[in-house]
Structure 1
Amino acid sequence: MEIVVDTPKPKTKRMTHPYTYIDPNARVASNVKIDPFTVIHGDVIIGEGTWIGSNVTIMEGSRIGKNCRIFPGAVIGAIPQDLKFSGEKTTVEIGDNTTIRECVTINRGTEDRGKTKVGNNCLIMAYCHVAHDCIIGDNCILSNSVQCAGHVVIGDWTIIGGVSAVHQFVHIGQHVFVAGGSLVSKDVPPYIKAVRNPLSYGGVNSVGLKRRGFQLAQINHILDIYRIIYNKGLNTSQAIDFIEEELEASDERDEIVTFIRESGRGIIRRFGKTGSEEE
């Protein structure tokens, strides 16, 4: 009698734990690693090389980029905490190489923008909340427990210190540093430090700009612009007119001027000698 011996097939490494649930309509790259007790809903896309820890919930409309790390307890793509939301199809978009730490919540958009977006190479630390229709640029850091209300816009390379709260519709420019524990209720122009209570202009973010390759001449040019805005005794409109007439055109000058002209909530002011915000 002939004896047939089955040749064992080579085992493939399983990247998804058997206690994980993935909806059949989700599109998850083959090398995504997902730890146990995580739930991936339908209409979700997850890019190559991403790791998702235990007890994470990724809900409908989430778009996760490549090489991201999402730590236990995070909830991505829950519906907006907005009573005007009526079930419209919207998304959350997370860029490549972004880290989302424990218990972060990022809600999807409403019909206003249709999406909430976090850029590439960001770090969103534990217990942060990013509400509906927020747009966060590339290379941003939100420290522990930063709370962003709806429709907030944060520019590239901005750092927000822990336990800060950002009012809805606030716009924070790029290369900004916001001190921890801040209440951000007005727009924060690019390239500056925002400090104290009430939140006020605290100088140019020269340390951050040097780290990112800005030349000394560029930093001094930015300093000259903000000296006119905050120290020359002009109101905002007068200062902007003076800057456009007297200072040499540059990318930095034009960005600052455009940001202030388009500000919907008004910009933060200089901290007064009496210990209060100057009008």
Structure 2
Amino acid sequence: MTAAVVHPTAIVADGARLGEGVRIGPYCIVGANVVLHDGVELISHVSIDGYTEVGAGTRIFPFASVGHVPQDLKFHGEASRLEIGERCTIRESVTINPGTENGGMLTKIGNDCLIMASAHVAHDAIIGNNVIMANYVGIAGHCQIGDNVIFGGTCVIHQFTRIGAHAFVGAQSMVDGDIIPYGMAVGNRAALTGLNLVGLKRRKFDREAIHRLRAAYRQIFSNEGTLRERVEDAASLFKDDVLVQDVVAFIMAASDRPILTPRDGQTAD
């Protein structure tokens, strides 16, 4: 058993739970209801509070503020939670808030995520695994982010927005609508600009599956009929294709935000 190592200048409140091999660097502050699992490292000057649980092997860099009161005027001190997964990297000056009573009481970040300097994850956001947020990305409250999503620098994501798995959001985008799985969006306000083909190839998706997904994309975002009709047609035509059915299910699910589509005059991918 490897005991936690706490720098003499750090303050760890009574009640905080530290796993094996935890390292807490200079001037960190850890609240009474915080749980740090095995191998978590707080480099220095990190402040963690609230009902916050940090998964094994996660590293948090200086001046990050994790688990403090949400930036939501409807928050009234409820015992909401923040869960951060394993092997995440949370860089300098990142802010992550817990959930609220109006949003499910939980903010959750999956495993193996990279959150770069000065990014923000607001209350009740649910972030999947292997998500990368470049510097200054802002995820507003109640957003749902799928696995393997990549955000370019200084993106802003509107509250209640959904972003499907394997999507890519270009730098400096303001996203106020849902992005389909495997999609790519860029702009202010952002529009769908095609499929994240580079990401799909890097993750070794089957070539034929990508071809079918491209065909379904062209059908769904063509100009004939309504979006619902085109989605239903794609669901029928590609009924045995997992990637296409992911997109179909995402679009058909209820949402508070519209689905992003290509801009007028843009050709489908």
Q: Which bin holds the TM-score, normalised by the shorter protein?
A: over 0.9
Residue number among 19, 25, 31 corresponding to 1:35 in the alignment: 25
Secondary structure at the aligned position of 2:192 is classed as strand
Distance 2:63 2:166 in 1: 30
Q: Where does residue 74 of structure 2 map in the other structure?
A: 84
Pair 1:214 & 2:235 matched = no
From the superposition, tell whether residues 164 and 263 of structure 1 become closer, same or farther in structure 2 (CA, over 3 Å). Answer: farther
Unaligned runs of 5+ in 1: 1-11
| TM-superposed deviation, 1:263 | 4.4
| TM-superposed deviation, 1:80 | 1.3
Larger radius of gyration: 1
Q: Where does residue 152 of structure 1 map in the other structure?
A: 143
Matches within 5 A, 1:9-158: 15-111=5-101, 112-158=103-149
| Contact 2:175 2:188 (C-alpha < 8 Å) held by counterparts | no
Q: Where does residue 247 of structure 2 map in the other structure?
A: 256
Distance 2:193 2:222 in 1: 12
Q: Kindly report structure 1 stretches of 4+ aligned residues shifted beyond 3 Å.
A: none
Q: Where does residue 181 of structure 2 map in the other structure?
A: 190
**% identical equivalent positions:** 40
TM-score by length of 2: 0.94
Distance 2:45 2:263 in 1: 44
Once the two structures are superposed, residues 100-131 of structure 1 have per-residue CA deviations (whole angstroms, 9 ceiling, x without a partner) of 00000000001221110110000000001100
TM-score by length of 1: 0.91
| Contact 1:260 1:266 (C-alpha < 8 Å) held by counterparts | no
Pair 1:242 & 2:233 matched = yes
Distance 2:237 2:19 in 1: 54
Distance 2:4 2:49 in 1: 23
Residue number among 173, 177, 180 corresponding to 2:168 in the alignment: 177
Secondary structure at the aligned position of 1:270 is classed as coil
Q: Where does residue 190 of structure 2 map in the other structure?
A: 199
| Contact 1:29 1:46 (C-alpha < 8 Å) held by counterparts | yes
Size of the aligned set, in residue pairs, is: 265
Secondary structure at the aligned position of 2:20 is classed as coil
Q: CA RMSD in A?
A: 1.8
Distance 1:74 1:197 in 2: 28
Distance 2:16 2:235 in 1: 51
| Contact 1:59 1:77 (C-alpha < 8 Å) held by counterparts | yes
Distance 1:61 1:181 in 2: 32
Distance 2:49 2:92 in 1: 16
Secondary structure at the aligned position of 1:189 is classed as coil
Unaligned runs of 5+ in 2: none
| Contact 2:37 2:55 (C-alpha < 8 Å) held by counterparts | yes
Deviates more, 1:174-183 or 1:76-85: 76-85
| Contact 2:3 2:22 (C-alpha < 8 Å) held by counterparts | no
Q: Where does residue 268 of structure 1 map in the other structure?
A: 260
From the superposition, tell whether residues 185 and 263 of structure 1 become closer, same or farther in structure 2 (CA, over 3 Å). Answer: farther
Deviates more, 1:74-83 or 1:247-256: 247-256
